[in-house]
Amino acid sequence: GDSEVMLYAQRSAEGFYQHLGFVPRGEPFEEVGIPHIEMVKAP
C-alpha cells in the first residue's frame, strides 16, 4: 500500500526495526517504566 506504518518500539528493539526499514521519529519516552521510541516506515 501507500500508507506510512508507525509503531512504538521498545528502545531495546530499535535496531531490529531499523533493520526492517523503520526510522526513529521524535523523542524517546517511557511507558510503564520501559523506554520506547516512535518509529515509522515510509511506503
The predicted-structure confidence for 1-43, as pLDDT tens digits, reads as follows 789 999 999 999 999 999 999 999 999 999 999 999 999 999 8
pTM: 0.88
Domain count, the chain: 1
Could you tell me the three cell numbers for 40? 515509522
The Cβ of residue 18 has, within 10 Å, a number of other Cβ atoms equal to: 14
Q: Give the pLDDT confidence score for residue 2 in this predicted structure.
A: 87
Q: Give the pLDDT confidence score for residue 34 in this predicted structure.
A: 98
Domain housing 27: 5-41
Bridging pattern class, strands 5-10 and 23-31: unpaired
Q: Are 38 and 8 in contact (CB under 8 A)?
A: yes
